[in-house]
Chains A and B, each alone.
Chain A
Amino acid sequence: MRKGLTWFNVTSIVLGFAFLYIPIILLVIYSFNASRLVTVWAGFSTQWYWSLLENEQLIDAAWVTLRIAFFSSLAATVLGTMAALALTRYGRFGGRTLFSGMIYAPLVMPEVITGLSLLLLFVAVNFDRGFWTVLLAHITFTMCFVAVVVQSRLVTFDRTLEEAALDLGCPPFQTFFKITLPLILPAVVSGFMLAFTLSLDDLVIASFTTGPGATTLPMRIYSQVRLGVTPEINAVCTILIAIVTVVVIIASIVTKRAESQREAEERAALQ
């Protein structure tokens, strides 16, 4: 009942966040270790970052991964938004239960199953495995995440705004682009970002569905990690963490600033 920070609440939060962040912080620190032995600190060095630049395999893999992540999340955003519209807007239609089942199941489906089944599909239809198959696989499982994010925005969307546009002479298709889309854009963008990171992250599904010439960064990292911990991998991880952290922090600052500006304006209007 007491709002605010009791000692119990402070302890929970501090311990919880320590648990979440200490492993990542250690990983980052040891990427600057001069020694090849990851666990022995031998002074500060950035040599592992420089040696990354010469690791062409890794750079190739990063490039493949980024392309797949970008295009798959773009397609997943379009498909996922359509799926969210279909689920929230069009009431009952034939097979709606099956449809919503196919949206929710991939969220919790073990990756080994999704990966295996997609691979067997590609084999069955004789589709050459590689960049495109990974792309299709990623679109399929990430579009469901986009659909869920956008759907949760659409259920709270004030539909009279769309009715007002129709009433003022705007046909449905244009109404979507002039009214609905601008207003649900924050959800669509976060859906896109979610799809992008999921694709960037995925090891299992990509491993099943990939083919020659399309090795992704997580696959590279995985094969090296199996051989043991190396500071080079720590350096790659640190770069990835840095990119994600910067993007997420910028995104949250931008939305927060927009929100507080809006609040200030609202307060000013009421005076």
Chain B
Amino acid sequence: MAMAGEKGRGRWFVIAVPYLWLLALFLAPFLIVFKISLSQDVVAQPPYAPQLDLSNGLSGLTDFLSQLSLANYGYVLDFSNEFLAAYGSSLIIASISTILLLLVGYPIAYAMARAPRSIQPTLLMLVILPFWTSFLIRVYAWIGILSPEGLLNQGLMALGVIDTPLEILNTNLAVYIGIVYSYLPFMVLPLYSALEKLDLTLLEAAADLGCPPVKAFWKITFPLSLPGVAAGALLCFIPAVGEFVIPDLLGGSDTLMIGKSLWTEFTVNRSWTVSSAVAVLLLLVLVIPIVIYQNIQQRELEAGK
């Protein structure tokens, strides 16, 4: 809405400050990552070359451009290095985790949305509460439970279910448990808000027209909750692909995930250029789900108006 006198400096200021901040600290860093991914490692400070030197004028720029190369991408995409396997395994682990999250999260969200109105805020708070406590703490809690001498094995052996401790910690199973546990609120909340909005008279109408409850769920409730399913799935899938803490603490040495590979490449091998190439390729993998997620969010917001 154009209002007389409102188009002034105030408007410009309110847009410009966060805009410039994000350009400088969110977008510009990606361009730098992209540039460094085309550079080579050197023993210097900073540890990559070439550096853009404009003191020689235009020739500095052309020199700089001519020294850029795709060598790091070749290295990352080489089958003998484990990066490709890590990308693949990350996508598989994230996909399976997202499906598990849906299977675990949907009944919870559904039951919450059908609970009496008076206790819904309390249930909602109970779902959010673990999210407010540290992510690291929640992952750490599982180490004590899943380790060979941990509480789960102790309990099962005491009950006589097993004789020897189960190997769960440092396997992919532990990673799945960790991801499902840590990301559960992110799945339940969008599902709950989609299910809670559902007009219950629709189900009464379906029943009135002769549709039994279970069928009504698949014909009415589930299709109408799909935006929540999509939002929750993407909200879990995208960060899970790049997850580092969970595979690092709960996974084994054979658990391949790209976030962990990037971290190792950076902190152990200290190759900034290769880690940058890994990051650029990871972003390329994720760009489509991120754009879809943004569109869903935008539509939700428009609908709220």
Interface residues in chain A, defined as those with a beta carbon under 8 Å from any beta carbon in chain B: 1-6, 8-10, 12-13, 16-17, 19-21, 23-24, 26-27, 30, 38-39, 79-80, 82-83, 85-86, 89-91, 93, 95, 98-113, 116-118, 120-121, 123-124, 136-137, 139-140, 143, 147-148, 151-152, 155-156, 159, 166, 172-173, 197, 200-201, 203-204, 208, 218, 221-222, 225-226, 229, 233-234, 237, 240-241, 244-245, 248-249, 252, 256
Contacts and interface: CB of A to CB of B under 8 A. Distances in A.
Contact of B130 (A24, A83, A148): A24
Q: Lowest 3 CB-CB distances: which A-B pairs, in order?
A: A110-B242, A117-B29, A9-B111
B282 A110 contact: yes
A10 B111 contact: yes
B304 A124 contact: no
Interface in B263-305: 263, 266, 272, 275-276, 279, 282-283, 286, 289-290, 293-294, 297-298, 301, 304-305
Interface stretch (B65-73, B79-87, B144-152): B144-152
B121 interface: yes
22 contacts: A1-B213, A1-B216, A19-B184, A24-B138, A27-B144, A30-B144, A39-B149, A83-B18, A90-B15, A99-B15, A102-B26, A108-B289, A110-B239, A117-B33, A120-B36, A121-B28, A139-B21, A152-B301, A201-B134, A221-B136, A229-B140, A237-B137
Nearest to A222: B136
A21 B27 CA distance: 38
B229 interface: no
A237 B140 CA distance: 9
Contacts of B275: 116
Contacts of A117: 29-30, 32-33, 279
Interface of B: 1, 3, 5-6, 10-11, 14-15, 17-19, 21-23, 25-30, 32-33, 36, 46, 104, 107-108, 110-112, 114-116, 121, 123, 125-130, 132-138, 140-145, 147, 149-151, 154, 181, 184, 188, 200, 203-204, 207, 213, 216, 234-235, 238-239, 241-245, 249, 259, 262-263, 266, 272, 275-276, 279, 282-283, 286, 289-290, 293-294, 297-298, 301, 304-305
A109 B132 CA distance: 19
Contacts, number: 264
A24 B21 contact: no
A118 B25 CA distance: 7
A218 B136 contact: yes
A124 to B, nearest CB: 5
B294 A23 contact: no
